Amino acid sequence: MITIGIANIFRREWIEIEKIPFPYTLVYHTCLVNVENIRRREWPTRTTFLTGLLVGFILCLPIGATYMFPWFPDIYSWKVNTCGPGSQWFAPPGIPWHLGINKHPTFWAFMLIIPIHYLFSTLFYLLIFEIAVFASYAAGYYTEMTQYDFCGRNWCAPSPYVSPPIQISVISTGAMIGIFISMIIYERRYIAETLSAAFGRLRGSEVESREPTSYRSSWIMVIASFILMMAFFMYTGLSPWLSFVVPFAGVVTWMVTGMVWGRIGFAYEPCYDLTPAMIRVMAWPTQLLPEVNSVDYALVPLLSREHIGHYAAAGFGSAFYASVLSYKMTDLARINTKDVFKLIVVSLFPALFVYLLCKIALLPGLFGARRIGYEISKAISSGTSGIDLLIYRFQKPLYICS
């Protein structure tokens, strides 16, 4: 409810005033409009839309078919030369090159609707980073990178992501904190306006006329949910300060990541660097390898990665992404925001419950933890205890590298 309330508060600023594009929503809305008018032969984009569906199906079929049918030819080298979500290494050995080519056909189509200045900025700073990696390698750093496989070059220490002199993860965390502070400063007048409306100082104003709830209700939702989450964490054994830090880190993480996602359609994975580092800065700024001697050290690593900052699949990310995406759709389709808010609340809570039920209870029981959890299975096979594994992931956001 925290992130839903935040989405309610900032909806007008982000969607009606700033006009943040939310490229995913543009794709969904375009598909919706074309499906609604597909029967009309005079519809101007009818042929283009149908042709695009056919081409997309043909190009994406090999990915799904490779997973489902062992006999299907591995056209995209998905089984032998793929890292993570679909990246293929193309550099020769012996150099610290660690970038790949995305093999998802939809990724390249999606790039066509991203504003060109965002793409240029991404490419420019990526080039700067790559030059820094090669310069560091020439100076004697990261020499082990050439011995790693493709994925290991991004995650296994020593690497430019987690090791000096570049340590880009620290830079990313600093950038996140800086963006959040800049957002608060930039939105200060808007925030003050919503608070004035919440306290009844803008009676008769039309600023709330198109909002899903009143600003008073949205602020109460955020504050009450935050307090209840703190109370729950303290009940489970966390200290009062960590009970505040953990949800606050979630708010910072997803406000920043969500705005990046809203502008370019994809965002950094905050569960590896941003959220854990934010918690460490606020809770343990001087401890490099904390000893597991309290509930704080035992639980916070799991909370930071799996429930607060893990992609957009956990509670904070999914609720925030679903809310702002839905409100962008209401603006494009001219739908009543109050009706959409009701749908968000009604649909998100059962969805999160079913997701957690499948993840925790059903999937491990049906398929086994070794088949669904790479890191847990690696830890079991190597004799690493669960707490040690969590602390390891919290201290350094790396895969367990052999």
For residue 189, the model assigns a pLDDT of 92
400 within a domain of the structure (yes/no)? no
Instruction: Looking at the structure, tell me whether residues 68 and 9 fall in a common domain.
Output: no
94 within a domain of the structure (yes/no)? yes
Report the C-alpha gap between 90 and 150 in whole angstroms.
9
Query: CA angle at residue 212 from 209 to 214, to 5 degrees?
Result: 65
- For 90-112, how does the pLDDT look when each residue is reduced to its tens digit (9 = 90+)? 777 788 888 888 888 888 888 88
Percent of the chain clearing pLDDT 70 (strictly above): 85
60 within a domain of the structure (yes/no)? yes
Instruction: Looking at the structure, tell me whether residues 294 and 229 fall in a common domain.
Output: yes
Q: Which is nearest to 62 in space by CA: 52, 71, 53?
A: 71
Instruction: Looking at the structure, tell me whether residues 335 and 205 fall in a common domain.
Output: yes
The three-state secondary structure class of 221 is helix
Tell me the sheet residues that pair with 89: 100
For residue 393, the model assigns a pLDDT of 37
Q: Which is nearest to 108 in space by CA: 121, 119, 117, 92?
A: 119
Residues in the chain, total? 402
342 versus 402: which is more confidently predicted?
Answer: 342
Q: Among the three residues 97, 114, 131, which one is the final residue of a domain in this structure?
A: 114
401 within a domain of the structure (yes/no)? no
Provide the domain count of the chain: 2
Backbone angles phi, psi at 101, to 5 degrees: -105, 130
- For 295-328, how does the pLDDT look when each residue is reduced to its tens digit (9 = 90+)? 888 888 877 776 776 665 666 777 888 888 889 9
Instruction: Looking at the structure, tell me whether residues 225 and 133 fall in a common domain.
Output: yes
Instruction: Looking at the structure, tell me whether residues 38 and 55 fall in a common domain.
Output: yes
- For 68-80, how does the pLDDT look when each residue is reduced to its tens digit (9 = 90+)? 888 999 888 888 8
Instruction: Looking at the structure, tell me whether residues 198 and 102 fall in a common domain.
Output: no
pLDDT above 80: residue 180: yes
- For 201-221, how does the pLDDT look when each residue is reduced to its tens digit (9 = 90+)? 766 466 777 888 888 899 999
Instruction: Looking at the structure, tell me whether residues 383 and 287 fall in a common domain.
Output: yes
Report the C-alpha gap between 166 and 98 in whole angstroms.
15
Q: Which is nearest to 273 in space by CA: 179, 177, 180, 172?
A: 172
- Could you tell me the pLDDT band of residue 391, with boundaries at 50, 70 and 90? very low
- For 260-306, how does the pLDDT look when each residue is reduced to its tens digit (9 = 90+)? 888 888 777 787 778 888 888 888 888 777 777 888 888 888 777 76
* Range with lowest mean pLDDT among 3-7, 38-42, 148-152, 220-224: 148-152
72 within a domain of the structure (yes/no)? yes
For residue 155, the model assigns a pLDDT of 77
Tell me the sheet residues that pair with 88: 101
Instruction: Looking at the structure, tell me whether residues 52 and 171 fall in a common domain.
Output: no
Q: Which two tokens stand for residue 303?
A: 């909370």
Q: Among the three residues 114, 144, 167, which one is the final residue of a domain in this structure?
A: 114
pLDDT above 80: residue 383: no
Instruction: Looking at the structure, tell me whether residues 95 and 233 fall in a common domain.
Output: no
Q: Among the three residues 114, 132, 163, which one is the final residue of a domain in this structure?
A: 114
Report the C-alpha gap between 183 and 191 in whole angstroms.
11
27 within a domain of the structure (yes/no)? yes
Instruction: Looking at the structure, tell me whether residues 279 and 180 fall in a common domain.
Output: yes
Instruction: Looking at the structure, tell me whether residues 137 and 151 fall in a common domain.
Output: yes
Q: Which domain holds residue 58?
A: 22-114
298 within a domain of the structure (yes/no)? yes
Backbone angles phi, psi at 83, to 5 degrees: -120, 135
First to last CA, the chain: 41
402 within a domain of the structure (yes/no)? no
Q: Which two tokens stand for residue 182?
A: 């800049």
pLDDT above 80: residue 387: no
- Could you tell me the pLDDT band of residue 231, with boundaries at 50, 70 and 90? very high
* Range with lowest mean pLDDT among 51-60, 223-232, 291-300: 291-300
**Residues 3, 316 contacting (CB under 8 angstroms):** yes
Buried residues in 247-278 as b, exposed as e (16+ CB within 10 A): bbbbbbbbbbbbbbbbbbbebbbbbbbbbbbb
Instruction: Looking at the structure, tell me whether residues 228 and 346 fall in a common domain.
Output: yes
- Could you tell me the pLDDT band of residue 132, with boundaries at 50, 70 and 90? very high
